[in-house]
Structure 1
Amino acid sequence: MQTTFPRLLLRNAERHPSAPAMREKEYGIWQAFSWSQMLELVETLACGLHQVGLKRGEHLVVIGANRPWLYATMLAAQSVGAIPVPLYQDAAAVECVYPLNNAEVRICVVENQEQVDKLIEVRAQCPAITHIYYDDPRGLRHYTEVGLASLAELMAAGRVFADEHSQWFRMEVEQGCPDDVAAMFFTSGTTGNPKGVVHTHFTLLDRAAAGAEFDKLCDREEVLAYLPPAWIGQNIFSYAQWLCCGYVVNCPESAGTVHIDLKEIGPTYYFAPPRIFEALLTSVMIRMEDGGAFKRKMFEAAMNLARRVGPSLMDGTSVRAVDRLKYALGNLFVYGPLRNALGFARVRVAYTAGEAIGPDLFAFYRSIGINLKQLYGSTETAVFVCLQPDNQVLADTVGIPVRGVELKVAENGEIMVKSAGLLKEYYKNPQATAEVLTADGWYHTSDAGFIDNQGHLKIIDRVKDVGRLAGGAMFAPKYVENKLKFFPHIKEAVALGDRREKVCALINIDFDAVGNWAERRNLPYAGYTDLAQKPEVYELIRDCVEKVNADLAADALLAGSQISRFLVLHKELDADDGELTRTNKVRRGFIAEKYAVLVDALYAGRTEQYIETQVKFEDGRTGSVSATLRIVDAKTFTTVKTAA
């Protein structure tokens, strides 16, 4: 797409000046910002940033939740040729040090006192920082930090400059080119320091336009922006496509009100990782299990019908007239109210990505009339590589290449991508850039997979994670972990086995789902640690593990990956404790090292093991959790031989 982000803002403001561009919920009330108001806000901020010396090609960090000011700040930086670098708002202060220094950041724009405190904490380690601007002044009245000021002050200075130089902003915007760097996103850093992924206006907007064309998005879409702005997926859905299509982006009041806000807005275009869809379904099932006998029977009968004919209706294939009539009644009394309760009453297109989604979970949403699909992409590819067409939606694929994408499979099974949306480079890291980009323009995804007979892409695991057991059988840990997480009672799992004689697993239970299960069985517990070690819970999880093993036994290639032994961890894996990335990906190597005593116990054949683990609380304090963990065996199955 041969344009820039600020030029698209100008276009939308000229075409639809009074139409809503964004809404923000504050104090329980939705407040709308029109395209002309967004343009005025961006111009004021751009002039203010120019006044404090922000230069073309310089990086500016933004940290905060989805808010109009955050999007306006990124647009303002791009308008003067600077490069916004969003960082995760829930990251610990120490996690910000490397990105701030790597990008040589002078100016930071943050949301509130929490983010200001982080930057003050690390400022001695980040000597380049000269200015910190905040949006929310609560708690900051008596701060005397040098260079600390409110966004209101910055905008006041910008307003004066804009009044005196009425054409300056548009002249700056006109200097921008599609091939200029538009943004930098830091990877999650699962194995070391994060890498700064550099994208141009062209790469981001080309992929945004390709996705919009694929699903026929228009300016009438409603989107809820609730995921971290530092994640490129949120940027594509709520920033790049927002400007391409001119639709409305809605910012929830807080993380705690997202579900309420979801129902109030009724988005037409929605994205969430599988864990969000899992949590929503778990909450529904918990409520249904607590309902009366008649309501439960009606729900069960309706869902049996939906599972049988719902996906066919979604795909437009033939269904018997009597089943169509029954489904219409089910839609009136069950599916429609259920979609409304979930906040999906108006969803036209919904996507999930990032991890594999369970086939039962996937089928549930499609069976009740929600057009849930999967996509494949990454930070380096500007998200859109493969998408599922409406009439070709399968639980075990991630779709077909979208416009402008070529795929091929390397000899080692790695998926290679050629696309107009590929990263320009890893910032200040030519060696890493050369490792992923070939001379003829192919990108190494590091994902192992294959393209099926229908042209759909299937992902197995990360290439580097696909290993071998001591006996030579293939071991795909992520594939095994995803199968475990398909069960609502399992929140997270870590599979171990590379170069070992068997596979073992560390498992996190889903506290809400298992807690509700325990309460309905009058099983008392004092908290997560106590519940996790109940013998009854171990039997519940063992049943899940053995179902996974039976499923793996039917796959001759991965039958050796069956889980022989497992334990349930005494604490939830947490990004603050370094066990997950900020995008909730398991840091398998770190976990194996941190819990080495448990890994040793699993492979030594012990039946229990004591462990004490340091944890970090939300307020920054540290403490410890200790427990004696049970270790149990799981039944494995003989490989099922398929007919030749």
Structure 2
Amino acid sequence: MRAENQVAPSAPAAGAQEGNLVQLLIQRAQNASKAGVTHKKDGRWQDVSFGQVLDDVKALSAGLVAQGVKPGDRVALFANTSLLWIVADLAITAAQAITVPIYSSNTPDEFAYIVNHSEANFVFVDNDEKDAKQAGRLTRVRQKLADCGSIQKVILFEGAVAGGQELSLADVLAQGQKAHQANPGSFEERVASVKSEDTNCIIYTSGTTGLPKGAILTHGNWTYQAHAVQAIGMMEPADSVMLFLPLAHVFAQVVKAAWLSMGFRLIIAESVDKLLANLVETRPTVLPSVPRVFEKVYNNVVANGSAAPGLKGRMFRWAFKLFDEYVDAQMQGREYNPLAFALARKLVFSKVRGTLDEKLGGNMRLFVSGGAPLSRKIGYFFDLLGFKVVEGYGLTETAAPTNANRPNKIKIGTVGPAMPGTEAKIAADGEVLVRGPCVMKGYYKNDEATAEALEKDGWYHTGDIGEIDADGYLRITDRKKDIIVTAGGKNVAPQNIENTLKTFPIMSQAMVYGDKRPYLVALITVADEAVRKLLAEKGAPVGSYADNAKRPEVHAAVKAVLDKVNSEQPPYATIKRFTVMPADFTQETGELTPTLKVKRKVCSQKYKAQIDAMYDNAAVLD
């Protein structure tokens, strides 16, 4: 399993960084009055200084030690993104322990698996509010507590405690404040003893192909990333950065690390559902996001503009027909500057830009896209409107970005050159390999998987297929394990097709299938709001999601999308049959990861009957 082929041109090395994130917080708090965080509390936006954050970290870390947390103990965090999450995380470090983040949307069984595998001794949980179709997180913890023998205490951010194992955060803080006042020097001693090579956290992968694996990430991984992000200008000290991403994901952890390094204002969104309202209220300059948000913004613009009455609607549809031609030209490397397109930019796209700018707070300098591939069409759309979207690439095992576009040189369709101090190269079989201070120590309690993924000389096998251009910019073409090899021996990258499908407003999710089969098929879920609008416009009955999914009008609209996408693919990469599913894919029902990626293995097994039915003797799409 030796790495081969050319190495990407290397930027000036940032290299490994000494220290830990609590030490960065201590540096930030020297300007004790500077607003470090803005969050909504008691119904209004409130600023919290770095000094206040540090005081809470001091008290909570002392409280954890008083409760029996020992160096090297694993402490799980099962909560939504919040200031308390960050304080608890930093307090765990200051207690010389190891954080185990758990997605707030994880099911009881997923929670129990991570706690048991990591042998977590303590668990923080935020509240018991109902979460989508699931019970509250506290209920989920209580359901599994008897099955999690390593847990000594459960610490509640809020709500009434029950049983001898539960403690309130307020009580732990009060206990810690007394302990810290009695011996204030112990905090600095504990923090100073935490070295850069020590384990900071164990973050579990989202499990798209099997059981989650725990990536062991060090304090040095995060301090390196914080400096690398600043070195490329992705975020700057003067920025206001909106954070809505789950802190159980490495993408959000990099934002947290950069915040502690640079001292910009971190704005914590109330929730994903309230993101747009929060953007208008707080006017951030940078929004790190996953592609799904950009897809929804684009699809919303297209759906509303196309449905506009009269001349406005006709103008919009004319402009977006030209936009499609523009995208095709860009994909093929052709010039596209007809007079009509210049007119469309002035009459239509300038107004779209103005409307979007207002909805995004009117102050946005930069978007950062990560966590999954961004469709090139979406990239060209935001670029056309004058918004900068910096797409990056990384994995849980690399503490997020190994590569990122630079704000002053964005190549749409690529994930940019390697971060300063990180190397990237392509192996003989096309796999992307990376090496540098961002790479994990290994997988927790899984030496076999570690040996398979990590070379002795430090090269990490990402499992992604890609190519590097002459400027060192990396383009990811697909997941190595996801590549479909048809019965005819043709290789097809399903993610590329799926990303294109999701740029159409009627589409919610898509999974392309066809390994060792004569042709490709697709499981499709539709966007409920777009379907309801379509049926209402056509005078058809509007019912439940499942009823609407059966309607011939919906099937015709989906077929029209597939016909359009198929026309742009070689014959062997066209989808011949499709099934519109009776319910959308969700994490609660098992088809999606917490980062909204389709679990191929789960869907292939769960919907085997539907897939097999698409390979019978029925007619296929032309």
Task: Report if TM-score (shorter chain) is over 0.5.
Answer: yes
Following superposition, the deviation at residue 235 of structure 1 comes to 1.2
User: Residue 165 of structure 2 aligns to which amino acid in structure 1?
Assistant: G
Corresponding residue pairs, total: 594
Q: Give yes or no for the alignment of 1:110 onto 2:110.
A: no
Aligned partner of 1:56 in structure 2 is 71
Following superposition, the deviation at residue 307 of structure 1 comes to 9.0
Aligned match for 1:128, one of 138, 150, 161: 150
Aligned match for 1:246, one of 243, 248, 263: 263
Q: Give yes or no for the alignment of 1:455 onto 2:477.
A: no
Aligned partner of 2:534 in structure 1 is 517
Following superposition, the deviation at residue 508 of structure 1 comes to 0.9
Are the structure 2 counterparts of residues 549 and 284 from structure 1 closer, same or farther at C-alpha, using a change threshold of 3 Å? closer
After superposition, the C-alpha distances for 1:406-456 in whole angstroms (9 at most, x for unaligned) are 121111111111121000111111111111000111000011111123332
Following superposition, the deviation at residue 256 of structure 1 comes to 2.9
After superposition, the C-alpha distances for 1:534-588 in whole angstroms (9 at most, x for unaligned) are 11211211121122222112xxxxx422111111111111211221222222121
User: Residue 241 of structure 1 aligns to which amino acid in structure 2?
Assistant: A
Are the structure 2 counterparts of residues 247 and 150 from structure 1 closer, same or farther at C-alpha, using a change threshold of 3 Å? same
Q: What CA distance in whole angstroms lies between the structure 2 residues aligned with 1:502 and 1:23? A: 52
Q: What CA distance in whole angstroms lies between the structure 2 residues aligned with 1:494 and 1:330? A: 34
Aligned partner of 2:358 in structure 1 is 340
User: Residue 208 of structure 1 aligns to which amino acid in structure 2?
Assistant: A
Q: What CA distance in whole angstroms lies between the structure 2 residues aligned with 1:534 and 1:322? A: 38
Q: What CA distance in whole angstroms lies between the structure 2 residues aligned with 1:318 and 1:589? A: 41
Q: Is the 8 A contact 2:454 2:461 kept in 1?
A: yes
Aligned partner of 2:12 in structure 1 is none
Q: Is the 8 A contact 2:303 2:530 kept in 1?
A: yes
Match of 2:568, SS? helix
- In the TM superposition, 1:548-563 aligns within 5 A as 548-553=565-570, 559-563=571-575
Q: What CA distance in whole angstroms lies between the structure 2 residues aligned with 1:303 and 1:540? A: 18
Q: Is the 8 A contact 2:254 2:399 kept in 1?
A: yes
After superposition, the C-alpha distances for 1:318-364 in whole angstroms (9 at most, x for unaligned) are 999999999788787552332112x1522212121233323332222
Match of 2:518, SS? coil
Aligned partner of 1:570 in structure 2 is 582
Match of 1:400, SS? coil
Q: What CA distance in whole angstroms lies between the structure 2 residues aligned with 1:354 and 1:252? A: 19
**Stretch deviating more after TM superposition (101-110 or 429-438):** 101-110
- In the TM superposition, 1:181-200 aligns within 5 A as 181-200=199-218
Following superposition, the deviation at residue 366 of structure 1 comes to 1.6
Q: What CA distance in whole angstroms lies between the structure 1 residues aligned with 2:288 and 2:114? A: 27
User: Residue 149 of structure 2 aligns to which amino acid in structure 1?
Assistant: P
Q: What CA distance in whole angstroms lies between the structure 1 residues aligned with 2:356 and 2:560? A: 29
CA RMSD across the alignment: 2.7
Q: Give yes or no for the alignment of 1:77 onto 2:92.
A: yes
Aligned partner of 1:610 in structure 2 is none
Q: What CA distance in whole angstroms lies between the structure 2 residues aligned with 1:17 and 1:439? A: 44
Q: Give yes or no for the alignment of 1:226 onto 2:244.
A: yes
**Stretch deviating more after TM superposition (585-594 or 121-130):** 585-594
Q: Give yes or no for the alignment of 1:369 onto 2:391.
A: no
Aligned match for 2:102, one of 84, 87, 108: 87
Aligned partner of 1:357 in structure 2 is 374
Q: Is the 8 A contact 1:93 1:121 kept in 2?
A: yes
After superposition, the C-alpha distances for 1:391-411 in whole angstroms (9 at most, x for unaligned) are 543332221112112121111
- In the TM superposition, 1:457-606 aligns within 5 A as 457-553=474-570, 559-606=571-618
User: Residue 508 of structure 1 aligns to which amino acid in structure 2?
Assistant: T
Aligned partner of 1:20 in structure 2 is 35
Following superposition, the deviation at residue 157 of structure 1 comes to 0.4
Q: Give yes or no for the alignment of 1:66 onto 2:81.
A: yes
Q: Is the 8 A contact 1:344 1:370 kept in 2?
A: no
Q: Is the 8 A contact 1:306 1:327 kept in 2?
A: no
Q: Is the 8 A contact 2:506 2:530 kept in 1?
A: yes
Following superposition, the deviation at residue 523 of structure 1 comes to 2.6
Q: What CA distance in whole angstroms lies between the structure 2 residues aligned with 1:37 and 1:550? A: 58
Following superposition, the deviation at residue 74 of structure 1 comes to 0.6
Match of 1:249, SS? strand
Following superposition, the deviation at residue 28 of structure 1 comes to 2.9
Aligned match for 1:10, one of 8, 16, 26: 26
Q: Is the 8 A contact 1:491 1:508 kept in 2?
A: yes
Q: What CA distance in whole angstroms lies between the structure 1 residues aligned with 2:399 and 2:21? A: 15
Q: What CA distance in whole angstroms lies between the structure 2 residues aligned with 1:60 and 1:334? A: 47
Following superposition, the deviation at residue 133 of structure 1 comes to 1.0
Are the structure 2 counterparts of residues 183 and 398 from structure 1 closer, same or farther at C-alpha, using a change threshold of 3 Å? same
Q: Is the 8 A contact 1:307 1:367 kept in 2?
A: no
User: Residue 617 of structure 2 aligns to which amino acid in structure 1?
Assistant: G
Consecutive unaligned residues of structure 2, counting only runs of 5 or more, are: 1-16, 129-135
Aligned partner of 2:227 in structure 1 is 209
Consecutive unaligned residues of structure 1, counting only runs of 5 or more, are: 554-558, 607-631, 636-644
Following superposition, the deviation at residue 216 of structure 1 comes to 5.6
Q: What CA distance in whole angstroms lies between the structure 2 residues aligned with 1:600 and 1:232? A: 37
Aligned partner of 2:404 in structure 1 is 387
Identity %: 30
Following superposition, the deviation at residue 218 of structure 1 comes to 2.4
Are the structure 2 counterparts of residues 297 and 505 from structure 1 closer, same or farther at C-alpha, using a change threshold of 3 Å? closer
Following superposition, the deviation at residue 297 of structure 1 comes to 5.7
User: Residue 100 of structure 1 aligns to which amino acid in structure 2?
Assistant: V
Q: What CA distance in whole angstroms lies between the structure 1 residues aligned with 2:589 and 2:321? A: 42
Q: What CA distance in whole angstroms lies between the structure 1 residues aligned with 2:336 and 2:554? A: 43
Q: Is the 8 A contact 2:394 2:401 kept in 1?
A: yes
- In the TM superposition, 1:432-451 aligns within 5 A as 432-451=449-468
Following superposition, the deviation at residue 507 of structure 1 comes to 0.8
Q: What CA distance in whole angstroms lies between the structure 1 residues aligned with 2:488 and 2:307? A: 48
User: Residue 217 of structure 2 aligns to which amino acid in structure 1?
Assistant: H
Aligned match for 2:300, one of 255, 280, 283: 283
Q: What CA distance in whole angstroms lies between the structure 1 residues aligned with 2:54 and 2:507? A: 46
Q: What CA distance in whole angstroms lies between the structure 2 residues aligned with 1:322 and 1:205? A: 50
Are the structure 2 counterparts of residues 368 and 475 from structure 1 closer, same or farther at C-alpha, using a change threshold of 3 Å? closer
Q: What CA distance in whole angstroms lies between the structure 2 residues aligned with 1:47 and 1:125? A: 29
Are the structure 2 counterparts of residues 354 and 132 from structure 1 closer, same or farther at C-alpha, using a change threshold of 3 Å? same
Are the structure 2 counterparts of residues 227 and 38 from structure 1 closer, same or farther at C-alpha, using a change threshold of 3 Å? same
User: Residue 169 of structure 1 aligns to which amino acid in structure 2?
Assistant: F
After superposition, the C-alpha distances for 1:204-242 in whole angstroms (9 at most, x for unaligned) are 2212221221126322211222121111111111x1111
Following superposition, the deviation at residue 482 of structure 1 comes to 2.3
Are the structure 2 counterparts of residues 306 and 465 from structure 1 closer, same or farther at C-alpha, using a change threshold of 3 Å? closer
Q: What CA distance in whole angstroms lies between the structure 2 residues aligned with 1:439 and 1:70? A: 35
**Stretch deviating more after TM superposition (330-339 or 183-192):** 330-339
Are the structure 2 counterparts of residues 482 and 319 from structure 1 closer, same or farther at C-alpha, using a change threshold of 3 Å? closer
Q: Give yes or no for the alignment of 1:119 onto 2:106.
A: no
Q: Is the 8 A contact 1:307 1:364 kept in 2?
A: no
Following superposition, the deviation at residue 27 of structure 1 comes to 4.0
Are the structure 2 counterparts of residues 29 and 357 from structure 1 closer, same or farther at C-alpha, using a change threshold of 3 Å? same
Q: Is the 8 A contact 1:26 1:253 kept in 2?
A: no
Aligned match for 2:190, one of 168, 172, 186: 172
Following superposition, the deviation at residue 191 of structure 1 comes to 2.9
Aligned match for 1:96, one of 91, 111, 120: 111
Q: What CA distance in whole angstroms lies between the structure 2 residues aligned with 1:308 and 1:411? A: 36
> How does the TM-score come out when normalised to structure 2?
0.90
Aligned partner of 1:404 in structure 2 is 421
Are the structure 2 counterparts of residues 52 and 193 from structure 1 closer, same or farther at C-alpha, using a change threshold of 3 Å? same
> How does the TM-score come out when normalised to structure 1?
0.87
